[in-house]
Chain A
């Protein structure tokens, strides 16, 4: 049996679409017995045999001496890691334009973004038959690119999947999840990567993962989520709601005032944590080294950091350092923690009446790079207003393709209560029985 995957084929694919930060140099194992499957890992997930640079120049040359728990589990399940997928530096971005290693392109239109920050993961899943990608979301980094690339993006409950081996962005928000081409793959690989791991204490409190359960009967639509949408997105979303209703899933309009605070709370918490996580990058022990070592420590690490962090990383370190400072800590960091609890309560309240909450995933279809270049940082942050809230709550969510506009895919996002992944799987399965997911035509 000859395998269809080869380093040459992946390199050719990468030359055109650039989903990878690094490609496996030897894929002979794909042909060995027992049968193998291929998977990729976002570049912030550590794997032996590969660098782990998380889209950052500062991690150039870092070869982790260990496998992330998710990589170990996938390998033990006969998975072959074919490459590390490109991403925004440390996950800081919505369009994958903040990577130090090139910008991955949308498989449907090379002039458009594939989304971020797990852009490479979504792109390669759309491009490669039978592929499954390990991705990671802090504030929407799985849903967004899945929506822009027309594939399934699944973000489990915070604590469902071990983060051991994940290069941290914001530890209280980071979640490893999956990008897949089918619900069958999702149901196959979610149990593989889930489960308690003593190397990540936050994964040890989870109840057992269940794939089956009662059928979903109703979903809630927050009115606030339907404002400022691209008309094409709104049209596709409303058509999808009609189809859900035909499938016996009722939709109720609700109000969710706290949604308006989610972005602000998220950016305070995420950058506060990120600015401490990024403190360790100082040109010692791992990653790049500075040029002159005969200078004071402060000068040395400042030089290394100035030269090797990208613009968005610097912006978030500054923001996050500010929000933790004395005098601002109460006003920003502690307040954001309180807002997060409020939003969790609001979600929980709504899901006492309805099984799930549904919104479009992104307010627009994948934008062109020329359009992105004109966006201000705050406008880019605002593009996450539908994907950030569930991430802030730690609740599981899924982005499913729900329509197409001029060939470009549009996604819808469903959110379930903590640990109720099975509700998402139920809707996803019923949805995909009817809705035909398209894949881009690939020319090598």
Chain B
């Protein structure tokens, strides 16, 4: 089975691709202007931030980035397309011939380019009396289209590809969950010689469902000795089936010409001026290699959040990576939502010193957990807490010895008399302290009183 995807992601810019309208309006048709409505006399001018985001994505996908890019007009008549042509990139792309690695498999990226989103059509009314309403708030929102080679070999792999791609994009350009829900995919799928395009699938879950349906439809046809015809189909989310779209247009009938109003843009220079950031999954890959740990665990950490990965790496510098991992995925993850808002260098150092103390057997696991919990709830924001705790241990011991003064007397003859104090402390503190710690503190206190 061969699957290739055309993924359309909305870029999280403040304003639209070719005008200054806001991208975050709620009320239908409230964020529109002559340009995104295609009024005669209006003209596009490019949103630089969208271009930058597009180039960042192309770079991340290891694409070849040309020195200059331009835009084209793709002409087709549709009610949601105000100008009846879409400004996109045709014989010019932000990047070509890139790749993306999913579970150690390299998926080819044919190209990544920028284009404007059309408006949104909404059908309302009873069946038979339906009316189409158009919301142009979406008209002109910047999209990046990422086209893969047909390297994906199952609906599940296609879903994972998209999922992981979105994780990375979230980090690179700051897409949000809402942007991810609006992701639209055109998928080409072939079981044998002919491919079928399933258009306009929205969201991750639908992608897998649509592809599964289409794969089994083609499989059944081939089994029955029938031929799969090359066509465009669309996915019906309600009925969970793909249906022939009966579209006549082929790619070339769009009559592409250059968009003369925008000119050319030097993206080569732009790409070279950008600093590289390590994306979550690439970081997981690196950490897995560097610390010799399982990739899936590293993935779990980076997907929780990149600061958690920072925390893990701080721990791994102080203790063995395996132990750092256990504490990161255990108590630290458990308290993560409370720790994260106040996480800073100091807190990372405090947490690292707690775990170092456990490793050095200075405190017990449960005491460490308690301290982490305390830091999370903001009770003892720094290592002052440890001093307070030591004092508390001393208080329990003094109070017991005050009540049982013969312990000190007996001690010279029989050091085992200290055991009653130790047993008491262990019982009262319920494992708050490491036994060695308690033994030393009790001996110290008795020695002090002997003199």
Contacts and interface: CB of A to CB of B under 8 A. Distances in A.
A431 interface: no
Contacts of B41: 45-46, 52, 64, 66, 68, 164-167
A269 to B, nearest CB: 9
A336 to B, nearest CB: 11
12 contacts: A52-B41, A163-B261, A171-B260, A172-B258, A202-B261, A272-B257, A279-B84, A280-B38, A285-B82, A287-B40, A297-B79, A321-B255
A286 B45 contact: no
A213 interface: no
B34 A282 contact: no
Contacts of B40: 46, 52, 54, 59, 62, 64, 167-168, 280, 286-287
Contact of A276 (B45, B73, B252): B73
Interface stretch (A31-39, A76-84, A238-246, A323-331): A323-331
B110 interface: no
A376 interface: no
B84 A282 contact: yes
Given A273-B260, A324-B257, A65 B34 contact: yes
Q: Taking chain B's interface residues, is the majority helix, strand, or loop, or is none over half, making it mixed?
A: loop
A311 interface: no
A188 interface: no
Contact of B83 (A205, A280, A298): A280
Given A64-B40, A165-B41, A284 B79 contact: yes
B291 interface: no
A196 to B, nearest CB: 12
Contacts, number: 100
Interface in B194-224: none
Interface in B378-411: none
A166 B43 CA distance: 9
Interface residues of B, number: 30
Contacts of B77: 279, 282, 297-298, 301
Interface of B: 34, 37-43, 45-46, 73, 75, 77-79, 82-85, 250, 252-253, 255-258, 260-263
A326 B250 CA distance: 10
A14 to B, nearest CB: 24
Contacts of B45: 198-201
A276 B257 contact: yes
A333 interface: yes
B50 to A, nearest CB: 14
B261 A171 contact: yes
Given A64-B34, A201-B45, A325 B39 contact: no
A172 B43 contact: no
Contacts of A275: 75, 255
A200 B41 CA distance: 11
A45 B41 CA distance: 7
Interface in A68-92: 68
Contacts of A171: 260-261
Nearest to A305: B77
A319 B53 CA distance: 38
Nearest to A171: B260
Contacts of B79: 284, 297
A285 B257 CA distance: 25
Given A46-B41, A275-B75, A276-B75, 8 more contacts: A45-B41, A52-B40, A172-B260, A202-B261, A276-B73, A282-B77, A325-B255, A333-B257
Nearest to A286: B39
The interface centre, meaning the residue of A198, A273, A298 with most chain B CB atoms within 10 A of its CB, is: A273
B34 to A, nearest CB: 6
Interface in A275-305: 275-276, 279-280, 282, 284-287, 297-298, 301
A297 B123 CA distance: 14
B252 A279 contact: no
A172 B252 CA distance: 22
Contacts of B42: 66, 164
Given A46-B41, A201-B261, A201-B262, A276 B78 contact: no
A324 B43 contact: no
A35 B84 CA distance: 45
A265 to B, nearest CB: 14
